[in-house]
Amino acid sequence: MSTEAEASHAAAALQLPPLSLYVHLPWCVQKCPYCDFNSHALKAVVPASRYIKALLADLENDLPLVWGRPVHSVFFGGGTPSLFSAADIDTLLAGIRSRLLLSPAAEITLEANPGTVEYDSFSAYRDAGINRVSLGVQSFDDELLVAIGRIHGREEVERAIASIRAAGLDNFNLDLMFGLPGQSLAAAISDVQTALGHAPAHLSHYQLTLEPNTAFHAHPPELPDDDLCWEMQEQTASLMQVAAYEQYEISAWSLPGKACKHNLNYWHYGDYLGIGAGAHGKLTLPASNEIRRMSKLRHPTAYMAALERRNWRAEDQAIADEERKFEFFLNQLRLRDGVNLAEFTPRTGLAGEVFTAAVELACERGLLQQQGDKLLPTELGWRFSNEIQALFLPSSDPAEAVKPVAINRDDQ
């Protein structure tokens, strides 16, 4: 269906979805060779005071777009947010609370790396308002950690987890990767077994991929082949299922009731403010029937310099109708529980007719099954979710969509 035809189906019924806040803290001790995030090696001390001043001014600049809306989650991502002291985070959260309506039950997550935290500081982060920690473990194997350029070893990981536990922060995530250079099936299984032994509330488990503009992409290491990676994924998934973890998203597992609320808001096509160097945001504006996507100045130096002119936006554009359709399905199809069709019109402003042909074709191919307002992936669809996503691409004919490509091996 053309853009013009889709526009004629606009339901003009946009409703405000939940709102989250993402705060980007861009510095790391060193850049990991596989990382394509907007992170920058720290060459001196963190310019915390000036950067926090810029963050709060950036937030003030965006406030007219979200007046009165409660914020349900805050995520401090990076980079390495734990390079900022607990006092810095306290100052930042106090500034956020004075400017936004932060829900009393808001999930407030801090990303941390074992090689950069002070091991007596998690209680201070808790006192500052952090109630969830995501620890970038990647592996418990010292040799594999060296192979992927991490600055920590297993000992630092174990100490960091003990410190998180001692601070009473039981809602924590361990970030694990598989398919690492030289990794065996036994090593991948051992990593997950060790992680499960710490009983985290949440596990992120995804395959190493060689992303453009990274050192590994320019000089690729020798990685396990696709068949071995597939076996790693299958066997570790079985371990997590036996341990009562639920796979609620392609690369996310949690104990019951402990799914990451912030990430779930992304997958359900919710709204989010993004502040910080290179941060992205998406906001729904029902009065003008718009959904707008924004990004901020990417380099930390330019971002802080924008204090002089108080304009941090690098991009600000409306999301076209057919892009709204694609993004809605692209996100919700990552969820094990499938697509909630009842959310489609309120969150896109479009009538259901715009996706009917694609849904019918996916069902005919055995990739999806419809149960009331839910579209559930079949086992075949879960394995070949790239094919389903392709059916909703802008300006595409569903009948001409790509043939199946197994994605869970290398598209995490």
CATH classification of the domain holding 252: 3.20.20.70
Residue 309 lies in a domain: no
> What integer is the mean pLDDT of 208-234?
94
CA 58 – CA 51 distance, rounded (Å): 10
Instruction: Give pLDDT, residue 401.
Output: 43
Q: Do 130 and 249 share a structural domain?
A: yes
pLDDT at 12: 57
Question: Any idea what the CATH number is for the domain that residue 369 is in?
Answer: 1.10.10.10
Q: Which of 265, 296, 314 is the last residue of a domain?
A: 265
Which one-letter amino acid corresponds to residue 152?
A: H
Instruction: Output helix, strand, coil percentages for the chain, rounded to the nearest 5.
Output: 40, 25, 35
pLDDT digit string, tens, across residues 60-98: 999 999 999 999 999 999 999 999 999 999 999 999 999
Quick one: 239 and 357 in the same domain? Answer: no
Residues 61 and 203 in one domain: yes
Domain co-membership, 50 together with 117: yes
Residue 166 and residue 241 share a domain: yes
The verdict on 147 and 257 lying in the same domain is yes
Residue 116 in domain: yes
The total number of structural domains that make up the chain: 2
> Strand pairing of 290-296 and 313-318?
antiparallel
Q: How far apart are CA 412 and CA 409, in angstroms?
A: 7
- Please identify, among 248, 265, 282, the residue that sits at the C-terminal boundary of a domain: 265
Q: Do residue 223 and residue 353 come from a single domain? A: no
Residue 386 falls inside a structural domain? yes
Same domain as 255, residue 384: no
Instruction: Specify whether 223 is located in the same domain as 74.
Output: yes
pLDDT tier at 251, thresholds 50, 70, 90: very high
Q: What is the mean pLDDT of the chain?
A: 91
Q: Is 58 in the same domain as 185? A: yes
Instruction: Give the model's confidence band at 58: pLDDT under 50 very low, under 70 low, under 90 confident, else very high.
Output: very high
Position 145 scores a pLDDT of 96
Range of lowest pLDDT (6-10, 42-46, 127-131, 238-242): 6-10
Burial annotation 338-350 (CB, 10 A radius, 16+ → b, else e): bbbbebbbbbbbb
Q: What is the pTM of this model?
A: 0.91
Could you tell me which of 82, 83, 108, 101 has the C-alpha nearest to residue 171?
Answer: 108
Residue 5 has pLDDT above 50, yes or no: no
Tokens of 50: 């000036």
> Taking a C-beta distance cutoff of 8 angstroms, is the pair 387, 182 a contact?
no
Name the nearest CA neighbour of 185 among 235, 251, 240. 235
Q: Which residue has the higher pLDDT, 117 or 228?
A: 228
Q: Is residue 167 part of a domain?
A: yes
- Residue 272, domain member (yes or no): no
Q: Which domain holds residue 372?
A: 322-400
With the C-alpha atoms ordered 264, 266, 269, 275, is the resulting torsion angle positive or negative?
A: positive
Rounded to whole angstroms, the Cα distance separating 152 from 128 reads 25
Burial class for 388, CB neighbours closer than 10 Å (0-12, 13-18, 19+): buried
Phi, psi dihedral angles at 42 (to 5 degrees)? -80, 125
The string over 227-257, giving b where at least 16 C-beta atoms fall within 10 Å of a residue's C-beta and e elsewhere, is ebbbebbeebbeebeebebbbbbbbbbbbee
Are the C-beta atoms of residues 319 and 293 closer than 8 Å to each other?
yes
pLDDT digits (tens, 9 = 90+) for 360-411: 999 999 999 999 999 999 999 888 888 898 999 986 554 444 433 322 222 3
Question: Is 80 exceeded by the pLDDT of residue 104?
Answer: yes
Domain match, 342 and 250 both: no
End-to-end CA distance of the chain: 29
β-strand 70-78 against 246-249: which pairing, if any? unpaired
Assess if residue 224 is contained within a domain. Answer: yes
Give every CB contact of residue 397 below 8 A, 6+ residues apart in sequence: none
Q: Identify whether 198 is part of a domain.
A: yes
Residue 166 in domain: yes
